[in-house]
C-alpha cells in the first residue's frame, strides 16, 4: 500500500485491518503499560478522531454508568488514563438517577463510532490519499519477507497466533445483541458488565466475554442471558 503522504520515503504495507485479545487486561494492570497506552495511543488518537467529524459519523452521547464501587484509575475513574476523553464527568446523587442496585452512579460524555459508516469513510479516505488495497491471505511469514514494501505494519489481530506462532495469544469472544433502531433513544447506560449503546442501525446490548472461545457463531444462550439482564435492569428502575 502506498500512502502517498508527503515526506514518506517509500511504500508501506499494512497487514489486516482492524477483537479484544487476552493481553488487554494485562496492559491495564501494569503501570508501565498503562502509561504507554495513555501517551502513545489515547493522546495521539483523540485529536485525529475528533476532527474526523460528520463524514465519519462519530457522535458524543451521554453515558450513565453504575457500579458498586469505582476504581478511580480504571477506565471510567477520575484518575483514568482516559480521563481527558470523558468530558462532563460527574457523580449523580441517588435522587438524580433511576438505577436500582448501584451505590455509585456517574455520568460523562463518550464517543460513539458507527463502524459501518466509519470504516467505509476510512476506506474512501485511504483511497483518496492514493493507497491501493489488496485482499490476500498471508499464508506464512515468508510471504511478508518477500513483500516489495520495506515498512510493514502487522495488524493481523488473532491471525497473528498462527502467522507468528504466538502461543500466548488467546481470544476473548464478545457478542452484541442488536435491537431494532429507536431514534428517540439518545443516551447510553451501563451497570457492571452490561451496557446499552444506541446507534442509527440498532440498539446495541452487551456485554459478554468468553475467554478462549474462537468460534464466530452466535451464542444463543448468551443472547438470552443478555436480554434477561437488560430487562431486569430496566424493569428495576426507581422513580427519581
Ligand X SMILES: Cc1cc2nc3c(=O)[nH]c(=O)nc-3n(C[C@H](O)[C@H](O)[C@H](O)COP(=O)(O)OP(=O)(O)OC[C@H]3O[C@@H](n4cnc5c(N)ncnc54)[C@H](O)[C@@H]3O)c2cc1C
Q: Can you give the binding site for ligand X, defined by CB under 6 A?
A: 16-20, 137-138, 155-159, 163, 174-176, 206
Pick the closer one to ligand X by CB: 60 or 237.
Answer: 60
Q: How far is the CB of 169 from ligand X (least distance, A)?
A: 11
Q: How far is the CB of 63 from ligand X (least distance, A)?
A: 11
- For residue 4, what are the β-bridge partners? none
Pick the closer one to ligand X by CB: 3 or 14.
Answer: 14
Q: How far is the CB of 165 from ligand X (least distance, A)?
A: 13
Pick the closer one to ligand X by CB: 98 or 159.
Answer: 159
User: Nearest-CB residue to ligand X?
Assistant: 159
Pick the closer one to ligand X by CB: 19 or 232.
Answer: 19
Q: Over the chain, what HEC string results?
A: CCCCCCCCCCCEEEECCCCCECCHHHHHHCHHHHHHHHHHHHHHHHHHHHHHCHHHCEEEEEEEEEECCCCCCCCCCCCCCCHHHCCCCEEECHHHCCCCCCCEEEEEEEEEECHHHHHHHHHHHHHHCCCCCCCCCCCCHHHHHCCCCCEEEECCHHHHHHHCCCCCCCEEECCCEEECCCCCCCEEEEECCEEEEEECCEEEEECCCEECCCCCCCCHHHHHHHHHHHHHHHHCCCCC
Q: How far is the CB of 33 from ligand X (least distance, A)?
A: 16
Pick the closer one to ligand X by CB: 103 or 162.
Answer: 162
Pick the closer one to ligand X by CB: 19 or 151.
Answer: 19
Q: How far is the CB of 222 from ligand X (least distance, A)?
A: 11
Q: How far is the CB of 93 from ligand X (least distance, A)?
A: 28
Instruction: Give the three cell numbers for residue 136.
Output: 490476500
Give how far the C-alpha of residue 122 lies from the chain's centroid of Cα atoms, to the nearest Å: 16
Amino acid at each position: 500500500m502506498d500512502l502517498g503522504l508527503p515526506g514518506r520515503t517509500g511504500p508501506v504495507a499494512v497487514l489486516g485491518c482492524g477483537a479484544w485479545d487476552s493481553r488487554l487486561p494485562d496492559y491495564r494492570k501494569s503501570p508501565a503499560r498503562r502509561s504507554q497506552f495513555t501517551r502513545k495511543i489515547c493522546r495521539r488518537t483523540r485529536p485525529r478522531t475528533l476532527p474526523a467529524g460528520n463524514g465519519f459519523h462519530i457522535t458524543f452521547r451521554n453515558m450513565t454508568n453504575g457500579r458498586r464501587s469505582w476504581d478511580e484509575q480504571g477506565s471510567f475513574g477520575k484518575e483514568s488514563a482516559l480521563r481527558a476523553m470523558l468530558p462532563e464527568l460527574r457523580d449523580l446523587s441517588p435522587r438524580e438517577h433511576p438505577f436500582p442496585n448501584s451505590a455509585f452512579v456517574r455520568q460523562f460524555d463518550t464517543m460513539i463510532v458507527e463502524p459501518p459508516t466509519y470504516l467505509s469513510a476510512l476506506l474512501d479516505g485511504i483511497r483518496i490519499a492514493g493507497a491501493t488495497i489488496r485482499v490476500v491471505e498471508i499464508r506464512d511469514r515468508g510471504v511478508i519477507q518477500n513483500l516489495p514494501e520495506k515498512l510493514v505494519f502487522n495488524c493481523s489481530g488473532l491471525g497473528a497466533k498462527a502467522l507468528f506462532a504466538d502461543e500466548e495469544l488467546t481470544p476473548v469472544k464478545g457478542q452484541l445483541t442488536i435491537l431494532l433502531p429507536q431514534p428517540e433513544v439518545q443516551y447510553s447506560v451501563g451497570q457492571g458488565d452490561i451496557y446499552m449503546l444506541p446507534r442509527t442501525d440498532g440498539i446495541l446490548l452487551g456485554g459478554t466475554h468468553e475467554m478462549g472461545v474462537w468460534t464466530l457463531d452466535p451464542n444463543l444462550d448468551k443472547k438470552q442471558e443478555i436480554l434477561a439482564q437488560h430487562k431486569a435492569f430496566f424493569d428495576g428502575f426507581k422513580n427519581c
